[in-house]
A and B are shown apart, each in its own frame.
Chain A
């Protein structure tokens, strides 16, 4: 456990630093309606690093950083221009174009100089788990400086982010502030993306800001909520990655999404006025029940139409209930099915055992080549046999499911359909009643309503 703590402490500290600066910038980005600008800037800086590598500089050298920064500044300038173009087309379209072109350009550069691919790969996946202490200090210093700049220039920066034609900022100053905003934004994502990867940086940026904006429009409330939610999501993601043995970045992105769902549910079901809250709870309950029933209906129809195909929901049900396909087989078939499942596992274990024997021989008594060939040929045979057993199991499972569809599929479909009809009835009644309520104003309408 202390091992885990020492391993996760630095990633968590880095996540907190990331959340503090990204959630704030995320509020800007949301107001500007350009949520993918970070991807575009990050990709441009990756392109810069790749170009630097192709020219023979290490990405961590001053020249490498110089190239990355130059390309980021170019991106900032291009993004500044999009405000002028936004009269014709949405800015997001240009951001998207910038992103794909930067990505494609890095692929082209990598093709000429393959060693740079490492950098592109790193940006995609990230490795927040292995962030080092010196890196963390570098982030902290950089973010503190950029945070200070944003604090000092908060009035014009917030004004240009919130309004298309900002008041209180002269028309000439707008592009300058825009450029400074994008440049500082680019510096932040350029530094964070190599550590956290594009997916996670996007989550740091957008999800906490969205959560904050759900609850309030006031920046003094939005920011603390966003920071709290982002830090909580990071902690949950890191803990989940550790205890469930998952890749860290992907686990954290999922944790951010879950936090958003929880926050959305909390807002609609807990933190609203009493009357809409009641209505929201009813709607939520009905939606959840409806979704479950639709899933059951579709799954059982799929079972009826095509019993031999993959049946994901049924497989989950079988695993949870222990009520498997063998219940629909006769005694002989059941025995063959059990044998096939068991032998598949046995053959795969044999393959692994042979692997272990060969591995041990690498440092023990060496195996001659012919012995290794014999092992390989046994392994191929075991693989074939395991595949055969899986085929037998699949055929029998399909057979069982072909019977199961009448016994389980048809009643399940009927029940789900009935449930859906019952669930939908109040809606239909409401729709029938609503126009009548409109007519209640007139004497005719009252009559109709009372007679119904």
Chain B
């Protein structure tokens, strides 16, 4: 565990130190969109992340240093869908028109994504209309990285028109690697198509859609509210009846409920990373999905590769 953290710290330092002075400054809301921006920008950009790797973005509180990061930023990449709503006030404070919606350096990485579970229950009012906030964890479907990187590449080309070719080439390289891995991931998980799972939070609809998993229930339907005994009893009953094979758990959530349910159902708890850096050793976008696919396959009993 310790070596993993250290390794990640070294990797992060190297990543920050590599590009030289004139590089474009990209500020990303989370480590995931930061990883995508780094893949597209390559040597042309330095990428800074606002939410620290491994922290819960939905419980994030900005610091003075974040205002400073935004002050220096040329491009802002956000997750969108209300996931990083705190960026609105941070950017508004700056009064920089380049980084607000429609500005030259503004990227909402969720643009164009086929959204899942659009419900109209959000209190956050984006742009004066009921946004009908969708489930925000779209980066966990590797296909969505295609659309997110398109938006990022577009903004980078807007700001650095002379580097168009390099930016597009970077993205093409990234997508080629993505396609190759996606084919392997799909292959690995194909034998588990339709497998029933219980998840701690509803963070996996996009992942489940891509890899054909059936997430039948959630342990904590409302974030921060511990499950009631009746809910836990339902989960146990449903788990037995439907033949649930594993519990998906996120690294920054308390383990007790997942562990307890797993014991009752006699199935493994699989800790899956929702975000780059949320488990040690996962330091880029492809690594994130590689880790999740491998962990899930191992837990479900795939022959090791």
Please give the residue numbers on chain A whose beta carbons come within 8 Å of chain B beta carbons, in ascending order: 3-4, 7-8, 11, 55-58, 110-111, 113-115, 117-118, 121-122, 125-127, 129-132, 195, 238, 241-243, 245-251, 348, 351, 355, 358-359, 361-363, 366, 369-370, 372-373, 376, 379-380, 382-384, 386-387
B120 and A351 contacting across the interface, CB-CB below 8 Å? yes
- Closest chain A residue to B133, Cβ basis: A383
Q: Which B residues lie within 8 Å of A243 (CB)?
A: 230
Q: Which A residues lie within 8 Å of B2 (CB)?
A: 55-57
A355 and B230 contacting across the interface, CB-CB below 8 Å? no
29 residue pairs A–B, Cβ–Cβ below 8 Å:
A3-B236, A4-B229, A7-B229, A7-B232, A56-B2, A57-B1, A57-B2, A114-B53, A117-B55, A122-B256, A126-B226, A127-B257, A129-B226, A129-B227, A130-B261, A195-B256, A242-B228, A247-B226, A248-B226, A248-B229, A351-B120, A355-B117, A355-B118, A363-B194, A369-B143, A373-B115, A379-B132, A380-B131, A383-B120
- Set A132, A358, A383: member contacting B263, Cβ < 8 A: A132
B257 and A351 contacting across the interface, CB-CB below 8 Å? no
Residues of B132-156 whose CB lies within 8 A of A: 132, 134, 143
| Chain A: minimal CB distance from B171 (Å) | 19
- Give 3 nearest A-B pairs by CB, closest first: A383-B120, A56-B2, A130-B260
| Chain B: minimal CB distance from A125 (Å) | 5
Residues of B1-56 whose CB lies within 8 A of A: 1-2, 5, 52-56
B226 and A362 contacting across the interface, CB-CB below 8 Å? no
C-alpha spacing A243/B233, complex, angstroms: 11
B233 and A7 contacting across the interface, CB-CB below 8 Å? yes
A114 and B228 contacting across the interface, CB-CB below 8 Å? no
- Closest chain A residue to B3, Cβ basis: A56
B226 and A114 contacting across the interface, CB-CB below 8 Å? no
- Set A127, A130, A248, A372: member contacting B116, Cβ < 8 A: A372
B168 within 8 A of A: no
C-alpha spacing A7/B131, complex, angstroms: 40
Interface of B is mostly: loop
- Closest chain B residue to A125, Cβ basis: B226
Q: Which B residues lie within 8 Å of A386 (CB)?
A: 120
Q: Which A residues lie within 8 Å of B94 (CB)?
A: none
Other CB < 8 Å A-B pairs besides A118-B252, A121-B252, 16 of them?
A: A11-B229, A114-B56, A114-B252, A118-B251, A118-B255, A121-B224, A121-B253, A129-B226, A129-B228, A130-B260, A195-B256, A242-B228, A250-B226, A363-B213, A373-B114, A373-B115
A115 and B251 contacting across the interface, CB-CB below 8 Å? yes
Task: Provide the B241-256 mask, 1 if CB < 8 A to any CB of A, else 0.
Answer: 0000000000111111
Q: Which B residues lie within 8 Å of A246 (CB)?
A: 228
B290 within 8 A of A: no
A384 and B252 contacting across the interface, CB-CB below 8 Å? no
B184 within 8 A of A: no
A115 and B116 contacting across the interface, CB-CB below 8 Å? no
C-alpha spacing A130/B109, complex, angstroms: 39
Using known A-B contacts A238-B229, A386-B120, determine if residue A132 contacts B260 with beta carbons closer than 8 Å: yes
- Set A56, A195, A242, A363: member contacting B229, Cβ < 8 A: A242
B130 within 8 A of A: yes
B193 within 8 A of A: yes
Please give the residue numbers on chain B whose beta carbons come within 8 Å of chain A beta carbons, in ascending order: 1-2, 5, 52-56, 59, 63, 114-120, 129-132, 134, 143, 193-194, 205, 208-209, 212-214, 224-233, 236-237, 251-257, 259-261, 263, 278
A56 and B118 contacting across the interface, CB-CB below 8 Å? no
Q: Which B residues lie within 8 Å of A115 (CB)?
A: 54, 251-252, 278
B256 and A127 contacting across the interface, CB-CB below 8 Å? yes
A376 and B229 contacting across the interface, CB-CB below 8 Å? no
C-alpha spacing A117/B255, complex, angstroms: 12
Q: Which B residues lie within 8 Å of A8 (CB)?
A: 229
A363 and B224 contacting across the interface, CB-CB below 8 Å? no
- Closest chain A residue to B260, Cβ basis: A130
A248 and B228 contacting across the interface, CB-CB below 8 Å? yes
Using known A-B contacts A130-B259, A376-B116, determine if residue A241 contacts B212 with beta carbons closer than 8 Å: no
A247 and B228 contacting across the interface, CB-CB below 8 Å? yes
Q: Which A residues lie within 8 Å of B63 (CB)?
A: 111
A383 and B130 contacting across the interface, CB-CB below 8 Å? yes
Q: Which B residues lie within 8 Å of A247 (CB)?
A: 225-228
Q: Which B residues lie within 8 Å of A117 (CB)?
A: 55-56, 59, 252
Q: Which A residues lie within 8 Å of B1 (CB)?
A: 56-58
C-alpha spacing A66/B236, complex, angstroms: 35
A379 and B226 contacting across the interface, CB-CB below 8 Å? no
C-alpha spacing A386/B122, complex, angstroms: 13
C-alpha spacing A118/B224, complex, angstroms: 11
C-alpha spacing A430/B261, complex, angstroms: 63
Q: Which A residues lie within 8 Å of B214 (CB)?
A: 362-363
- Closest chain B residue to A379, Cβ basis: B118
C-alpha spacing A3/B208, complex, angstroms: 30
C-alpha spacing A126/B260, complex, angstroms: 14
Q: Which A residues lie within 8 Å of B53 (CB)?
A: 114
| Chain A: minimal CB distance from B199 (Å) | 13
| Chain B: minimal CB distance from A368 (Å) | 9
| Chain B: minimal CB distance from A68 (Å) | 16
C-alpha spacing A358/B263, complex, angstroms: 31
- Closest chain A residue to B236, Cβ basis: A3
Q: Which A residues lie within 8 Å of B194 (CB)?
A: 363
Q: Which A residues lie within 8 Å of B131 (CB)?
A: 380
Q: Which A residues lie within 8 Å of B5 (CB)?
A: 56, 113
- Closest chain A residue to B116, Cβ basis: A358
Q: Which B residues lie within 8 Å of A359 (CB)?
A: 205
Q: Which B residues lie within 8 Å of A249 (CB)?
A: 226
B213 and A362 contacting across the interface, CB-CB below 8 Å? yes
C-alpha spacing A16/B143, complex, angstroms: 52
Q: Which A residues lie within 8 Å of B130 (CB)?
A: 383-384, 387
Q: Which B residues lie within 8 Å of A111 (CB)?
A: 52, 55, 63
Q: Which A residues lie within 8 Å of B232 (CB)?
A: 7, 129-130
- Closest chain B residue to A245, Cβ basis: B230
Q: Which B residues lie within 8 Å of A370 (CB)?
A: 114
C-alpha spacing A376/B135, complex, angstroms: 11
| Chain B: minimal CB distance from A357 (Å) | 11
| Chain A: minimal CB distance from B245 (Å) | 13
| Chain B: minimal CB distance from A385 (Å) | 9
Using known A-B contacts A358-B116, A383-B120, determine if residue A245 contacts B257 with beta carbons closer than 8 Å: no
Q: Which of A7, A121, A363, A384 has the most CB of B within 10 A?
A: A363
